[in-house]
Amino acid sequence: MAVNKNMRILVVDDFQTMRRIVINLLKQLGFGNVTEAGDGQQALDKVKNEQIDLIISDWNMPNMTGIEFLRGIRADERNKAIPFIMVTAEGKKENVIAAVQAGVNNYIVKPFNAATLKEKMIKVIGEF
Amino acid sequence: MTKDQKENFQAHLDRLASSKEEMVPISEVRQIIDAVRDMFEGNFQGEDLSMLGELGELARAINRARKELREFSPQALNDEHLPNASEQLDTIIKTTEQATGKIMDNCERLGGIHERLKERIAGSEIAASDPDLLASLDDAVSESQAYITEIFEACNFQDLTGQRIQKIVKTLREVERQVLRMVIVFGLNKEKGKSLDSETKEKMMNDAELLNGPALPGQSMEQEDIDDILDKLL
């Protein structure tokens, strides 16, 4: 089934610069229906209040980290199927394992480019 | 403790051990207790202190580096000396963030121009009369757009340099804290041979604890390594 390029994507990062980078790269890939959040708690609220089809989240954030946000998402039966990509500078093996155990669908290490983002998105949501 | 003092101390102990007297004079017991206490309190002298001197020099070198960092403040960034190194590093992060923001603002404007150009070209007479020229213009706009994407990708540096600067500061603080703790434990004092009293040590130790330690050190992996793990786990 073809990927709907109008899917709602949630970009989570405490760094506004990073959110802009990801949003612009998504735009280059043809995905313009994007919403954003500055930490895990804000993101969790967004997921509760609107239909989200894909989450791209940073790990290190104040208030609620990416892994805590991921666990919060997966704790709710209704959100278990939302594809979740973790984007982070933390390349530690134990972090990757923890993220996988928490239910992450893929993992991108910074710095990354549009090609890597596309490759990971394809693995998670299918070819586009 | 000097070599002579060690030899005297050892001779003292040997003499007591070989003594046939059942009672040891209280003055001798005091001498032994004083010697042992001096060792525990870090009353080092002579060659022992030369090693500790190296440690002290290391602590001073780190402190000097921190002061120099604190005092370095380019006029363009700030007219006043920044009060501490972490604020200065925060300023670096903010300055690069602002610059990155401007770069991205302009990239977005260029993206808007590209969109308008494409619309104008598609709606012009050229589109109907000269398809080759139309394709060529379209390719040029797409190529230009690809460069904009690369600029966005390159802006990753701002986030990463910020995180790395923070880690360096934490590591520097931890090294300083550890060296400081060692200096305090050994009771190193400017006045050779004079140990620090316990109250001073405690106060210094508390000050040293105020320096924050870094997060647990860990070996970072590359994307390929991460992918390998993911392939095994997912």
Query: Nearest CA to CA, how far is A85 from chain B (Å)?
Result: 12
Residue B5 scores a pLDDT above 50:
yes
Give residue B218's pLDDT band: very low, low, confident or very high (50, 70, 90). Answer: very low
pLDDT in tens, B145-189: 999 999 999 998 888 887 788 777 677 667 666 766 666 666 555
Residue A5 scores a pLDDT above 80:
yes
Q: Is residue B225 part of a domain?
A: no
Residue B112 scores a pLDDT above 80:
yes
Task: Find the mean pLDDT for residues B63-73.
Answer: 56
Q: Is residue B119 part of a domain?
A: yes
Q: Is residue B234 part of a domain?
A: no
Average pLDDT, chain A: 93
The CATH number of whichever domain residue A45 belongs to comes to: 3.40.50.2300
Measured in Å, how far apart are chain A's first and last C-alpha atoms? 10
Residue of chain B nearest A58, judged by CA positions: B159
How far is Cα A19 from Cα A28, in angstroms, rounded to an integer? 14
List, as ranges, residues 121-150 from B with C-beta within 8 Å of A: 145, 149-150
Q: Look at residue B28 in the predicted model and tell me its pLDDT.
A: 73
Q: Look at residue B91 in the predicted model and tell me its pLDDT.
A: 78
Q: Look at residue B177 in the predicted model and tell me its pLDDT.
A: 66
Q: Do B163 and A111 touch (CB under 8 A)?
A: no
Q: Is residue B46 part of a domain?
A: yes
Least Cα distance to A56 among A31, A76, A75, A92 occurs for A31
Residue of chain A nearest B223, judged by CA positions: A109
Task: Find the mean pLDDT for residues A37-59.
Answer: 95
Please indicate if any CB of chain A lies within 8 Å of the CB of B221: yes
**Range in B46-60, B64-78, B80-94 with the lowest mean pLDDT:** B64-78
Task: Find the mean pLDDT for residues B220-228.
Answer: 59
Q: Look at residue B26 in the predicted model and tell me its pLDDT.
A: 76
CA B147 to centroid of chain Cα atoms = 35
Q: Is residue A114 part of a domain?
A: yes
Task: Count Cβ atoms below 10 Å from residue B31 Cβ, excluding itself.
Answer: 14
Q: Is residue B17 part of a domain?
A: no
Residue B192 scores a pLDDT above 50:
no
Least Cα distance to A57 among A18, A95, A30 occurs for A18
DSSP output for B69-128: HHH---TTT-SSPPSSHHHHHHHHHHHHHHHHHHHHHHHHHHHHHHHHHHHHHHHSHHHH
Total domain count for chain A?
1
Q: Look at residue B18 in the predicted model and tell me its pLDDT.
A: 75
Residue of chain A nearest B100, judged by CA positions: A17
Q: Look at residue B54 in the predicted model and tell me its pLDDT.
A: 66
Read off the amino acid at residue A106. Answer: N
Q: Is residue A32 part of a domain?
A: yes
Tokens of B114: 């590209």
Total domain count for chain B?
1
Residue A61 near residue A36 (C-beta atoms within 8 A):
no
Residue B166 near residue B174 (C-beta atoms within 8 A):
no
Q: Look at residue B48 in the predicted model and tell me its pLDDT.
A: 53
How far is Cα B104 from Cα B148, in angstroms, rounded to an integer? 9
Q: Is residue B36 part of a domain?
A: no
- Which residue out of B167, B226, B232 would a mutagenesis test of the A interface target, given it has the greatest number of A Cβ atoms within 10 Å? B226
Please indicate if any CB of chain A lies within 8 Å of the CB of B108: yes
Residue B157 near residue A113 (C-beta atoms within 8 A):
no
Q: Do A91 and B220 touch (CB under 8 A)?
A: yes
Q: Do B104 and A97 touch (CB under 8 A)?
A: no
Show residues of chain A in contact with B156, CB under 8 Å: 18, 21, 110-112
Count CA atoms within 13 Å of residue B181 on its CB side.
Answer: 12
Q: Look at residue B127 in the predicted model and tell me its pLDDT.
A: 74
- Between residues A27 and B86, which one has the greater pLDDT? A27
How far is Cα B140 from Cα B113, in angstroms, rounded to an integer? 13
**E strands present in chain A:** 9-12, 34-37, 54-58, 84-88, 106-109
Q: Do B159 and A107 touch (CB under 8 A)?
A: no
Q: Look at residue B185 in the predicted model and tell me its pLDDT.
A: 64
Q: Specify the residue for token string 């080092």.
A: B44
Q: Is residue A95 part of a domain?
A: yes
pLDDT in tens, A53-101: 999 999 989 889 999 999 999 999 999 999 999 998 877 888 899 999 9
Residue B29 scores a pLDDT above 90:
no
Query: Nearest CA to CA, how far is B125 from chain A (Å)?
Result: 28
Measured in degrees and rounded to the nearest 5, phi and psi for residue B189 equal: -135, 155
Please indicate if any CB of chain A lies within 8 Å of the CB of B159: yes
Residue B103 scores a pLDDT above 70:
yes
Average pLDDT, chain B: 69
Domain, as residue range, for A70: 9-122
Q: Do B153 and A25 touch (CB under 8 A)?
A: yes
Domain, as residue range, for B138: 41-215
Q: Look at residue A67 in the predicted model and tell me its pLDDT.
A: 95
Q: Is residue A3 part of a domain?
A: no
Give residue A22's pLDDT band: very low, low, confident or very high (50, 70, 90). Answer: very high
Please indicate if any CB of chain B lies within 8 Å of the CB of A115: no
3-state secondary structure of A51: coil
* pTM summary value: 0.62
- Between residues A44 and B55, which one has the greater pLDDT? A44
DSSP output for B180-227: HHHHHHHT--SSTTPPPPHHHHHHHHHHHHTSPPPPPP-----HHHHH
Q: Look at residue A66 in the predicted model and tell me its pLDDT.
A: 95
**Range in B34-38, B65-69, B126-130 with the lowest mean pLDDT:** B65-69
List, as ranges, residues 77-106 from B with C-beta within 8 Å of A: 97, 100-101, 104
The pLDDT > 90 percentage for chain B reads 11
